[in-house]
Amino acid sequence: MSAAHGRLLLVPAPLDFGCAEQAPLQQVLPAGTIDAAAHLTHWICENAKTARAMLKRVGDVQPLALPLREQAIVELPREVHKKGDHDGSFDARALLAPALAGHDIGLLSEAGMPAVADPGSSVVRSAHQLGLTVVPLVGPASLLLALAASGLNGQNFAFVGYLPQDAAQRTARIRELEGLALRGGQTQLFIETPYRNAAVWDALLKSLQPATRLCVASGLTLPQSSIRTLPASAWRQQPAPVANDVPAVFAIGR
């Protein structure tokens, strides 16, 4: 790769997107990540509005290289948000033109690490195709935080994305994942969009075997964070532990 080329930096965002309360940026992002973000002037993001909000938080800690209005911010196409971009169907090389001209580019999602349970893998894939250096920066990843705190198997696990919206298909998928967890000991992690937590929770309690262990984590890195693992039979005796309108990570295992 030419020394004149820029790099692609994967910039983690705090996990408090959409939450009523935000954690101080210095508590969830290392100084090195904040510094790297402050020096960038070119961005590829999931949503320009939330990207600017994130940069404003960075600028409150460390001056930005350029004012917000002068930052070059490009959104991933809407279809990438809807269908994901992990299947190779979107060519993002055109978005990386500034890197070929010598500018470092930041890749940013609304929360957590871009390209992990979020759009962005097409940009990373295109960067490799162009011979650009890809630099993942340190920051919160909800899946790993939930897994570490779950007490479930952290040596063998799988992230399976979202469950189906159709009730019958969702039940079938839960039983399929439970079989994988119980037979092979592989922890199964999945997420849900806000306002579907209640439906997923109800389906889990109706579908899981009594001894299957179920973890739910929400509000990670925030003062009101909640992470708890119990057998399904014990959960059936308690109110739902997660509100219907907050991001959550679920895990099942043995």
- pLDDT per residue, tens digit, the chain (254 aa), is 456 899 999 999 999 887 777 889 999 999 999 999 999 999 999 999 999 999 999 999 999 999 999 999 999 998 876 667 777 789 999 999 999 999 999 999 999 999 998 889 999 999 999 999 999 999 999 999 999 999 999 999 999 999 999 999 999 999 999 999 999 999 999 998 778 889 999 999 999 999 999 999 998 998 888 999 999 999 999 998 988 778 899 999 99
**Does residue 12 belong to any structural domain of this protein?**
yes
Q: Could you tell me if 103 and 159 lie in one domain?
A: no
Strand-pair category, 105-108 with 8-11: parallel
Helices (H) and strands (E) in the chain, counts: 10, 10
Strand-pair category, 134-136 with 42-45: unpaired
Q: Could you tell me if 233 and 123 lie in one domain?
A: no
How many separate domains does the chain show?
A: 2
Q: Exposed, middle or buried: residue 225 (CB in 10 Å: 0-12, 13-18, 19+)?
A: middle
DSSP assigned state of 76:
P
Q: Could you tell me if 156 and 58 lie in one domain?
A: no
* Model confidence, pTM: 0.90
Can you give the residue range of the structural domain that contains 113? 8-136
End-to-end C-alpha distance for the chain, whole angstroms: 47
Q: Could you tell me if 120 and 146 lie in one domain?
A: no
